[in-house]
Amino acid sequence: MSEDKTKLAIIIPCYNEELIIKSTVETLLKVLDALVSKGKISSESYIYLVDDGSKDSTWAIIEDLHSRFGTRVKGTKFIRNYGNQKALIAGLLGVKEVGCDCVVSIDADLQQDENAIEKFIDEYHNGAEIVSGIRNDRKTDSFFKKYTALCFYKLMNLLGVKIPPNHSDFRLVSYKALEILEKYSESGLFLRGFFHELGLKTAYVHFDVKPRALGSSKFNLFSLTSLALNGITAFSVVPLRIIAVIGVLTVLGSFLLALEVIVEKYILHTTPDGWATLVILFAFFGGLQIFCLGIIGEYMGQIFNEVKGRPRYIKEKELV
């Protein structure tokens, strides 16, 4: 069969993955070989590992794999641990520089089904610029992780960031999406939100999650919370707006309270002198202060959006 010209890169963020990285790379090379022999990708396709500042022998193993497999296994190493999102971004921008037509990101523990990569490529050949992996279920997750993840996606949707639930960082993106990514200079970019709101043609592929074969999860409560907070604050200024709404509600509440207090004072004569004035002023100015904070929040939201320096728009086509 004639060789397809699609050069696929597979990027893998790795943090202390010495137990598993070798077998992962060997498995993925087999996946690449199978796709080459089916004529779906070019034989120049490769794997690109990003060592996120591992403290174990992960990098030494990556060097060894590079010397065994040559340019089919490339890699880069961070000076320290920056977290999985930064490692993924480095991988995406790294393979753009090295050269590729599309890139798939997958975890080092291969919990995501590597056989779904073929479906990703099929969708890419059908014209999708982004193919998102959606987990079939969360059976392999702990009770805690399952429900916190569910709450996170619900909250994101409420705040206006419409990411489908059970979305993952297992996805294919085209070279075109990488060119757009390069225009986003903000350092705290949340990739799931970013790729979702790009507006490029997106396909979804469902996959089964396997339990981690070796080693343990590199995420803890702290890193998961910070990922979630980053996701929310990078894509939504709604929390700031909520402050203004609370302020307005409190001021309205103070008017209702005023009515009640006036009835108590002038009709029922049940309140001591001065009490009515104090209560009304207290509630009114409390509300006013919260409302003012909300207004400041609106301006902060504007500043926040400006400093991120996102491109104003991305043109899809142009006739000149």
Q: Are 10 and 49 in contact (CB under 8 A)?
A: no
Please report whether residue 111 would count as binding Mg ion according to CB under 5 A. Answer: yes
Size of the site for Mg ion (CB under 5 A): 3
Instruction: Identify the residue whose tokens are 């979702």.
Output: 196
Cβ proximity to ligand UDP, 214 vs 281, nearer residue: 214
Reduced 3-state DSSP string for 101-144 = CEEEECCCCCCECCCHHHHHHHHHHCCCCEEEEEECCCCCCCHH
Distance CA(312)–CA(320), nearest Å, equals: 21
Distance CA(181)–CA(185), nearest Å, equals: 8
Binding residue for ligand UDP, selected from 11, 32, 49, 87, defined by CB under 6 A: 87
- Coil, helix or strand at residue 98: helix
Q: How far is the CB of 79 from Mg ion (least distance, A)?
A: 24
Strands (E), 149-251: 167-174, 202-207
Please report whether residue 114 would count as binding ligand UDP according to CB under 6 A. Answer: no
Q: How far is the CB of 107 from ligand UDP (least distance, A)?
A: 4
Cβ proximity to ligand UDP, 15 vs 46, nearer residue: 15
Residue 104 identity (one-letter amino acid): V
Binding residue for ligand UDP, selected from 32, 89, 95, 108, defined by CB under 6 A: 108
Please report whether residue 191 would count as binding ligand UDP according to CB under 6 A. Answer: no
Please report whether residue 111 would count as binding ligand UDP according to CB under 6 A. Answer: yes
Instruction: Identify the residue whose tokens are 């043609």.
Output: 201
Size of the site for ligand UDP (CB under 6 A): 16
- Residue 129 contact, options Mg ion, ligand UDP, none, Cβ 5-8 Å cut-off depending on partner type: none
Q: In what order do the strands lie in the sheet with 46-51?
A: 73-77, 46-51, 8-14, 102-105, 167-174, 130-135, 202-207
Q: How far is the CB of 189 from ligand UDP (least distance, A)?
A: 15
- Residue 72 contact, options Mg ion, ligand UDP, none, Cβ 5-8 Å cut-off depending on partner type: none
Contact set with ligand UDP (CB under 6 A)? 13-15, 17, 52, 81, 83-84, 87, 107-109, 111, 217-219
User: Which residue ranges make up the site for Mg ion (CB under 5 A)?
Assistant: 107, 109, 111
